[in-house]
Chains A and B, each alone.
Chain A
Amino acid sequence: MAKRKSLIKIKPKKYTTGDIVKVSFMVMHPMDTGTGKDKKTGKIIPAHYINEVKFLFNDKPFTTMKTWESLSANPVFTINFKVPGPGKLKVIFTDNQGEVNETSKKIKPKG
């Protein structure tokens, strides 16, 4: 199973406990709709898209998403998050072909 390139970004970079930050999760994924054709072979590319994204903080889920093929390729999901303290932010994502990947980032509030 291929490991997908993914990344979590937090804005602003400096934050303290109790701040509301923007969490962006980006992943390299084709998000094929199942209607497009391969330009070289002319064959239809089967649907391949992310259908579930879970955001967890210290293994407790706080946001879950169900998604469909209408999202752009290499999607970016942005949500807000209120920092409760130091810990670990983890994102688990699943696609319709059964690939499960995860990525994580440490939360280190200053001050």
Chain B
Amino acid sequence: MTKRTYRNASVAALVLLFLLLSPLQDKIDLQRKQMGFEQRLLLMPGQIAGSLALGGFKGLAADLLWLQVEELFHSGQSHKMLPILRSVTFLQPKFITPWAVGGWHLSYNISVMAKDPNEKEAWIQAGVDFLKEGITYNPERYDLYFELGWTFYHKVKNYAEAVKYLELACKFPGPDYLPNVLAHAYEKNGQIDTAIETWREILRSGNSFGHLSPRHIHNLKTYGSTITPETPKKK
């Protein structure tokens, strides 16, 4: 084979292979998009984390930032950890813990530090919004639905919203306490019959909280509440 023929054959083979590669890359891109694996533009603090992310080591960068969040939290610098938390969620949106912990910090720890009621409410709302954003990246897991439902139930005291998100949480595999909390949310929302039915279902399904069902069903039927006049008050 002459040099020229060999060169032409090599170029033809390369062109053919690149032509094969192009639609394959399109298919991979599409599937990555469907799986939520798309690359996102990075704007984040910390040069170390940035350079690691540039090398394709986003998970490692997220871990380093997460360690920093832990350190700031334990030293009481809650406000400083917010932008870092945001960076972690940006790098690894499917890492549940930063969403859950971030939502909790905003709605609980940071909001109680605010003296102005409007500011307090704004922080609680920021926590709710943070959790809602986390759900958009993790819609097929119970965790963030539960966190949001719990925030509405316990902090915001918006029981209708609590029921909505706790019902969503119960649609996915999760721990035994999910239907338990949902039953209490139904009760607080005035849906006593649904609460009784939920406690019955807890008993039927062999849930580890099933032993509470007979007492709660009895109290709900008798007093319309699981809290009875005999229930000891919290100090």
Are A and B physically bound partners? no
Listed in ascending order, the chain B residues whose CB lies under 8 Å from chain A are none
Listed in ascending order, the chain A residues whose CB lies under 8 Å from chain B are none
